[in-house]
Structure 1
Amino acid sequence: MRKLVIAISMLAFAGSAAFADPIMDRQALMKERGKIAGGLSKVVKGEEAFDSAAVLTALQSLQANAEKIDVDALFPAGSDKGDTTASPKIWEDTAGFKAANDKYVADVKAAVAAAPADVDALKAQFNTIGGDCGTCHEGYRIKKG
């Protein structure tokens, strides 16, 4: 878990640059998000021991990542073309997309504020956060393959 915390810290630092290419920038943020969530998933699945400090650090990193998502900057008109799996629905239903993102941010903040004391509490929080991810992936992402 210690390696996870170090890796997340380095990713958070690397991800702090200004948005230059919206497609690449949002993909980098989503990859970072996936790595953080993947580490938490290992704890939820029992593949790694629950360590409250490390879990809180990971949740805080997830919050920092979530707060970097500026829909207007990362999903400007025209950025639906190119190497992206962003669905045209993002631009057709920007208000819905923003609402889904806002819910995700709020749920991650709530998880940080109510730092899980054990793996069962983390599971409940992670299910909520994962549900938010699923909502976006189902509605606003084109499946590869």
Structure 2
Amino acid sequence: MKFRTLFAAAVIGAAGFAPAIAADEPQVVRQEMMKKVGGATGAMAKMVKGESDFDADATLAALTTLSEVAAGIGEYFPEGSETGFETEAAPAIWSDRAGFEAKLAAFKADADAAVAAAPADLDGLKAVFGPLTKNCSSCHETYRLKKS
């Protein structure tokens, strides 16, 4: 009996059924999008902190990622996705939708401005990085559950 269970689990896992089911869930999609934001922000933070050399191409790619995510992430917070899949989305997203949408719009505007600025040096990156990270922080204060 134990062998059959293990075999069935291995077949299902190898076929990719379990991940495919969850991949369509809005909670999972938005978590993946936020991981992209975290990676892009982290790469720029290393440059700002002097932990890595400034790279204009990498900076523009990271800023473009932020802009693209900001443009689409809002649609992955539909009614009914308030819980599940270890979401960190706070109830305020749904109770204050206008405020949430305003935060996303501000993030998108700042990300677009940063892409348009196309920082050519570290000082240029620093000038756009601050406003972007302030957007992240201010949104997370209200619209992200605190990890316990």
* TM-score, structure 1 as length reference: 0.81
Hey, what's the Cα distance between the residues in 1 that align with 2:100 and 2:35? 19
Structure with the greater alpha carbon radius of gyration = 2
Question: Residue 45 of structure 2 aligns with which residue?
Answer: 41
Higher helix proportion (structure 1 or 2): 2
- Unaligned 5+ segments in structure 2 are 1-22
Determine if contact 2:60/2:115 at 8 Å carries over to the other structure: yes
Question: Residue 67 of structure 2 aligns with which residue?
Answer: 63
Please list the CA deviations of residues 98-131 of structure 1 after superposition, one character each: whole Å capped at 9, or x if unmatched.
0000100010000000111221221121110000
The residue type paired with residue 139 of structure 1 is T
Q: CA deviation at 1:66?
A: 2.1
The residue type paired with residue 91 of structure 1 is W
Tell me which of 115, 131, 135 is aligned to 2:134: 131
Tell me which of 76, 79, 89 is aligned to 1:77: 79
Matched, 1:102 2:105: yes
Q: Find runs of 4+ consecutive structure 1 residues off by over 4 angstroms.
A: none
Hey, what's the Cα distance between the residues in 1 that align with 2:119 and 2:113? 10
The residue type paired with residue 26 of structure 1 is R
Hey, what's the Cα distance between the residues in 2 that align with 1:23 and 1:124? 32
The residue type paired with residue 104 of structure 1 is F
The residue type paired with residue 44 of structure 1 is V
Hey, what's the Cα distance between the residues in 1 that align with 2:119 and 2:125? 5
Please list the CA deviations of residues 34-86 of structure 1 after superposition, one character each: whole Å capped at 9, or x if unmatched.
011111111111111112222112212222222221x2x31111211222111
Question: Residue 13 of structure 1 aligns with which residue?
Answer: none
Counting matched residue pairs gives 125
SS in 2 for 1:30: helix
Determine if contact 2:36/2:65 at 8 Å carries over to the other structure: no
Question: Residue 5 of structure 1 aligns with which residue?
Answer: none
Provide the aligned C-alpha RMSD in A. 1.3
Hey, what's the Cα distance between the residues in 1 that align with 2:46 and 2:106? 24
